[in-house]
């Protein structure tokens, strides 16, 4: 009998301490590592989370950058980091699904433990406002006339922009040429400078560049509240919904209750009306995928991207 009660007591103590630990969490600054350079969407959305997180938990989020290999430099090191919940990392889709599929980047999709996906930036097809192309129909017509001659800039290879271009080309039966640039900034510069005919960007880009660009379509179910003049692809007859998703991940061995607490804190941040307002003003589309929905969400995403990747020929031999 004594044995069992000792065990029970020990278990109770363990549970109590870990709950206490979770309840205490966060009790100091959390390092938020962004696996990209500063100024991009991952950075901006993280910076918007910062003050709300601080208000909510009393602790700061210290944002650090660890760019390299399109994010792989960070994700491949994630599980080597301290797993006490005080080091978290931004994660991105489609990156973490596509990169390991295409080649050996130092991690597998399942190695990355995302606790919460908090927004996505819907794909958007943009042209400079001075372009003769006024709407999607014009665009498709022009592309059909001269296959391959339409150049579209985007950020990175095998990224969300690239995927969007491939998907839409198939849906519309056209052939365009994708020109990868280093980051959204460079892609935008090329767009504005008429170096390319158009750009696969996001709703955030349309908002940022304002009147200088024209949105031909956005990949959402319904029009974005901040972009009433931007028709969705769906309403124009093309089933293209999606974009780049962003979330927060922790090293695999982080205690489960800390992961739950972090997820719930992030969910609370995501529900803050001021935060929502600022995010939407920037062109982001809110999303709430927490630990409960995570397995199903990831399975769906992997299936979807997997099929796409095979078609695009990205999957490594």
Partner 1 sequence: METLDYLLAALTPFNLLLAIGGVIAGTVIGALPGLTATMAVAVLVPFTFTMEPAAALIVLGAIYTGAIYGGAYAAILLNTPGTPSAIATTFDGYPMARRGDGDLALTVACLASVIGGLVGAGFLWLLAPPMATVALKFGPVEYFWLGLFGLTLIASLGEGSTIKGLIGGCVGLLLSMIGVAEVGGDIRFVGDFKPLLGGIDVIAALIGLYCIPVLIDLVATPVAHLDSGGRISSFRLAEAIHIVKNAKFNLARSSVIGTVVGILPGAGGSVASLISYSEAKRASKRRAFFGKGEPDGVLATESANNATVGGGFIPTLVLGIPGTPPDAIILGALMVQGIRTGPTLFTQQAPIVYTFIFGLLLATILMLPIGLLIGRFAFRSLVAIPKSVLVPSVALLTILGSYAVHNNIDEVQQMVILGVLAWCVGRLGFSASPIVLGLILGAIAERGFVQGNLIGNARGSVMAEFFARPISLGIIFFIVLGLLWPLWSNYQARKAGEAHD
Partner 2 sequence: MIKRAIPVLPLFGSVIVIGIGWAAVAATAEYSELGALFPKTVGALMVALGFVYLVQTLMGRSGASAPADGSNLRRFLLMAVMLGWSFSLEWLGFLPASAAAQAALLLIAQHVRWTFKKALTYGVSTAFVLLALYALFKHALQVPLP
The contact pattern for partner 2, residues 267-306, with x = CB under 8 A and - = no contact, is ----------------------------------------
Residue list 66-105, contact with partner 2 (CB under 8 A): 87
The footprint of partner 2 on this chain (CB under 8 A) covers a number of residues equal to 5
Alpha-carbon distances of 166 from 59, 87, 187, 276, rounded to whole Å: 42, 35, 17, 31
CA distance 267 to 294: 13
CA distance 55 to 48: 12
CB 123 within 8 A of CB 161: yes
Angle (CA) 295 297 299, round 5°? 70
Minimum CB distance to partner 2, residue 177 (Å): 13
Told to check if 47 binds partner 1 by CB under 8 A, we report: yes
CA distance 248 to 89: 6
Member of 62, 141, 149, 286 binding partner 2 (CB under 8 A):
62
The contact pattern for partner 1, residues 120-139, with x = CB under 8 A and - = no contact, is --------------------
From the list partner 1, partner 2, none, partner contacted by residue 199 (C-beta under 5 to 8 A by kind): none
Alpha-carbon distances of 89 from 1, 252, 313, rounded to whole Å: 46, 12, 29
By CB neighbour count within 10 A (0-12 exposed, 13-18 middle, 19+ buried), where does 197 fall? buried
Minimum CB distance to partner 1, residue 75 (Å): 11
Member of 18, 31, 135, 264 binding partner 2 (CB under 8 A):
31
Residue list 206-225, contact with partner 1 (CB under 8 A): 207-212
Q: Which of 103, 79, 101 is nearest to 89 (CA)?
A: 79
Member of 91, 166, 188, 206 binding partner 1 (CB under 8 A):
188
CA distance 49 to 117: 13
Contacts with partner 1, residue ranges (CB under 8 A): 33, 37-40, 43-44, 47-48, 50-51, 60, 63-70, 72-73, 76-77, 102-106, 148-151, 156-158, 177, 179-182, 185-186, 188-190, 192-196, 207-212, 278, 281-282
Contacts with partner 2, residue ranges (CB under 8 A): 29, 31, 62, 64, 87
């Amino acid at each position: 009998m004594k044995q069992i009660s000792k065990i029970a007591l020990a278990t109770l103590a363990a549970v109590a301490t870990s709950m206490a630990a979770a309840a205490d969490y966060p009790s100091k600054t959390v390092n938020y590592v962004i696996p990209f350079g500063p100024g991009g969407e991952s950075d901006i959305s993280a910076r918007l989370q910062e003050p709300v997180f601080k208000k909510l938990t009393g602790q700061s989020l210290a944002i650090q950058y660890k760019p390299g290999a399109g994010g792989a430099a960070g994700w491949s090191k994630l599980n080597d980091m301290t797993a006490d919940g005080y080091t978290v990392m931004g994660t991105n889709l489609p990156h973490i699904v596509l990169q390991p599929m295409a080649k050996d980047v130092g991690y597998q999709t399942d190695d990355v433990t995302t606790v919460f996906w908090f927004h996505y930036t819907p794909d958007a097809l943009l042209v400079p406002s001075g372009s003769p192309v006024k709407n999607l129909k014009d665009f498709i017509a022009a592309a059909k006339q001269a296959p391959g001659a339409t150049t579209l800039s985007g950020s990175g290879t095998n990224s969300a922009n690239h995927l969007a271009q491939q998907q839409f080309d198939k849906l519309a039966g056209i052939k365009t040429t994708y020109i990868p640039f280093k980051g959204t900034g460079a892609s935008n510069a090329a767009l504005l400078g008429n170096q390319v005919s158009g750009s696969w960007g996001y709703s955030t880009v349309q908002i940022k560049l304002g009147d200088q660009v024209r949105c031909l379509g956005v990949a959402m179910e319904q029009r974005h509240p901040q972009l009433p003049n931007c028709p969705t692809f769906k309403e124009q007859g093309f089933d293209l919904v999606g974009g780049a998703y962003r979330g927060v991940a922790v090293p695999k061995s982080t205690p489960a209750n800390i992961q739950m607490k972090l997820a719930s804190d992030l969910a609370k941040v995501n529900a803050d009306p001021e935060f929502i307002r600022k995010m939407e003003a920037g062109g982001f589309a809110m999303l709430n995928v927490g630990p409960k929905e995570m397995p199903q969400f990831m399975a769906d995403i992997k299936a979807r991207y997997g099929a796409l990747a095979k078609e695009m020929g990205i999957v490594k031999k």
